[in-house]
Amino acid sequence: MINITLPDGSVRQYSEGVTSLEIASSISEGLARNVLVAKVNDTVWDLSRPINEDATVQLLTWNDDLGKNAFWHSSAHLLAEALEELYPGVKFGIGPPVENGFYYDVDLGGRHFSQEEFAKVEQKMLELARNKSEYVRREVSKAEAAEYFTQKGDEYKLDLIKDLEDGSITFYTQGNFVDLCRGPHIPNTGFIKAAKIMNVAGAYWRGDEKNKQLTRIYGVTFPKQKELTEYLERLEEAKKRDHRKLGKELELFAFSEKVGMGLPLWLPKGTLLRERLEQFMRKAQVKAGYQPVVTPHIGSKELYVTSGHYEKYGADSFQPIKTPNENEEFLLKPMNCPHHCEIYKTRPRSYKELPVRLAEFGTVYRYEQSGELHGLTRVRGFTQDDAHIFCRPDQVKEEFIKVIDLVLYVFKALGFEDYTAQISLRDPENKTKYIGTDEVWEKAESAIIEAAAEKGLRTVTELGEAAFYGPKLDFMVRDALGRKWQLGTIQVDYNLPERFQLEYIGADNQKHRPVMIHRAPFGSLERFVAVLIEHCGGNFPLWLSPDQFAILPISEKYHDFALQVQAQLEQEDIRGFLDNRDEKIGRKIRDAEVSKVPYMLIVGEKEQEGNAVSVRRHGEGDLGTMPVEEFISMFKTKIAEILNN
C-alpha cells in the first residue's frame, strides 16, 4: 500500500500502481468525469500513469490553469491530426499551449493556408474529437524515434530528437496520429466539444530567420460550445476596449515615429490621469513613511556593472552613451534601484533609523524588440512607482506585509477585485541565472511565503520566475474580461546590499548589512494605465477621470452663469470643462457621453435663477436638478466612499 496526500492534507491509502483516475473515482464519480490530468508531487501527469510510491496528488480540471494547459496541449495534437487528414504530407514543428489556446507550426509543402479554410479544419477537429480517441503515452528509444520520423520524412521532428537524451523520449498517439511529446494529455479527445481556428501567421523554424518559415496556426478549444461562444463575445468586447483605440478617442496618449517606437507621448488629458495616479500614490506613501527622492535618467556604466544589471541586460538594452572623454560611458538607466543604493550610502546609518524607505516615480529605459512593442503595455521608456526599503533582517516580514497592504489599497481604489498573488521563486535546477548564496535565497523566499500566508492571500507558486537578484511576490490581476495581467510587484533582495557594500551600525555597535525590499504597486504607469483603460472601458473611477464634469449651457445667454459654476467647482478641486460651442444641447450631451465624462451639468434659465444645475450621470441618465452646493457635497461623498473604504 502507498499513502496519497490530497490538497486538503488528508491521506488515503491505495494499492501500489494506482492511477490518478482511480483516485478520482474513489472520491466521487463527478470528479472522475471532469478530471483532466493530475499533479503528482510537482509534476503534471496523465491520469492513466501508475503511481508506485507515496505521493501528494492534486486532481486538475478545466477550472485549474494546469488543467486548461493540458486541454489545449491535447487540442494542438487534435489540430495536427486534422491537418494530416486534410493535407497529406504535412510536416510538423512544435505545438504548445499558450495563454488562450494553442498553436502548431506546420510545413504545408508550399500550400497557402487562408481564412477560408478555417471552418473546414474546425469541422474535421470536431469530427475526430467525437471518436473519443485515447491519448496513449509510450516510451521509445532515441533510435526508434529517429527511425519513425525518418520513414515519415519529417525533418523538424528529427531536428528536435537530436537534442533529446535517450531514455527520456516519449510518443503520444491518438487515433491515427503519432507525435513526439513529453505530455501530459487529457484522457481522450471526447472532452473537446468546441473548436475555433483563430489566426494564421508565419514563424521561422526554431525562431531563426535563416531557417525555413513555417505556417503557425492558432486555435482555441473548450469543453462546451457555450464557453466558446462566451469567449468570442469577450474578444469582441476586448476590441472595443483596446487601450490603443480608446487612448486615441479619449486623447490620452500618442506615438510618433519621429520620436521613436515604444516611446509614448502623453497628451494633456492623459497627463492629468497620470498626475492623479501619482498624487494618489504619493499621499499613500507619505502616510506609510516613505521619503521622496529624484535620480537622473542616466548613470555611469560602472554603476550597473556593480549592480549586475549590465551583465544581465547590457547586451539586449540601449547601448552605452559615449562622451568626449574616451574613458567615460553612461547608460540610460534600466532600473532605479542602483541609484537608491547610492542615496542610502550618502551617510552612515544606525539601526534606530531603519527602515529607510525611498520612493521615486523614476523613468527607466529598456530596448524591447520592435516585434514585442504593443501600445502602452510593452514600451521602451516607462515610469515606475518605484520604492526601496532598507531594513534590518528582523523587520523584513513586517515591512513586506505593509507593502502588501498598500498594493491591496491601490487595487480596491481602482476596482481590481479579482487577483492572485504569485510567489515567484528561483529555478532550483538552474541557479546560475541568479546572484547570491543559497542561504540568502532561502531567507528571502521564506519571508515572502510567510507574509503571503499571514495576509491570507490566494497564492500560486512559480519556480524560475524570480528576479535575478531575489524572489518576488507578483500580483496577477484579472480584468473585467477575465484576462490576467501582472501588475504590482514586491521583491526581497539580500544581494544588492552586498554588491553595494551597504551598512548600518547595529545595537552591538558593529557593522551589519541591511535587507532591501523593492516594490512597485502600479508596476509601470504605462502598463497600469493600459490595463486600467481596458478594465473599465475608459469609464475611469470618478476620482481619477481626467474630466469629472462637463458644463453644458442650453444657449449663449447662460455662458456667464456656466463660468461661475465652473469656477465654484474648480475651487473645490472638481475638474472639468465648459462646452460653449454653438450646438444644440442634445449634441453636447451625446458628445460628452462619447467622451465618457462622468457628470454632465446642464444650465439654463431655471438653473441660473436657483444657482443650480441639472445633473446627468454618464451611462445612467438624468439625476434631477440640485443646487450647486448639493452637487459638490454629493460628488465629494462619492469620492470619499471610493478612497476611504
The helix/strand/coil state of 201 is strand
Catalytic residue chosen out of the listed positions 388, 512, 535, 596: 388
Bridge partners (DSSP) of residue 138 are 171
Give the Cβ contact number of residue 311 at 10 Å. 12
User: Strand ranges (DSSP E) for 568-629?
Assistant: 576-578, 599-603, 612-617, 621-627
337 labelled as ligand-binding?
yes
Q: Where are the beta strands (DSSP E) in 164-243?
A: 169-174, 177-180, 194-204, 213-222
Instruction: Dump the DSSP string for 54-102.
Output: -EEEEEE-TTSHHHHHHHHHHHHHHHHHHHHHHSTT-EE----EETTEE
33 is catalytic: no
Strands 599-603, 549-553: pairing is parallel
Catalytic residue among 39, 378, 472, 527: 472
Q: Which residue is catalytic, options 312, 333, 339, 366?
A: 366
The catalytic residue among 349, 518, 535, 616 is: 518
Among residues 46, 64, 216, 337, the one annotated as catalytic is 337
Which residue is catalytic, options 105, 154, 386, 479?
Answer: 386
Specify whether the backbone of 110 is left (phi greater than 0), alpha (psi in -120 to 50) or beta: left
Is residue 179 among the annotated active site residues?
no
Euclidean distance between CA atoms 369 and 366, whole angstroms:
9
CA distances from 509 to 205, 355, 396, 494 (A): 61, 17, 21, 21
Nearest alpha-carbon partner for 470 in 438, 492, 490, 451: 492
Q: Which amino acid is at 40?
A: V
How many C-beta neighbours within 10 Å does residue 348 have? 9
388 labeled binding residue = yes
Q: Which of 384, 422, 491, 548 is catalytic?
A: 384
Catalytic site includes residue 384: yes
Provide DSSP, 105-164.
EEE-TT----GGGHHHHHHHHHHHHTT--B-EEEEE-HHHHHHHHHHHT-HHHHHHHHTS
Q: Can 386 be counted among the known catalytic residues?
A: yes
The answer, yes or no, to whether the previous bond of 88 is cis (omega within 30 of 0) is no
Spatial contact of 215 and 113, defined as CB atoms under 8 Å apart: yes
Nearest to 616 by CA among 601, 604, 635: 601
CB 496 within 8 A of CB 444: no
Question: Measured between alpha carbons, how far is 186 from 19 in angstroms, rounded to an integer?
Answer: 14
Comparing CA positions, the residue from 346, 311, 314 lying closest to residue 333 is 314
Annotated catalytic residue 380: no
Task: Give the whole-angstrom CA distance, residue 549 versus residue 599.
Answer: 5
User: Residue 170 forms beta bridges with which residues?
Assistant: 139
DSSP 418-475: EEEEEEEE--TT-GGGS-S-HHHHHHHHHHHHHHHHHTT--EEEEET-SBTTB-EEEE
The three cell numbers locating residue 451: 507574509
- List residues with catalytic annotation: 337, 366, 384, 386, 388, 472, 518
Feature table: binding site? 337, 388, 518
**Residue ranges at the known binding site for Zn(2+):** 337, 388, 518
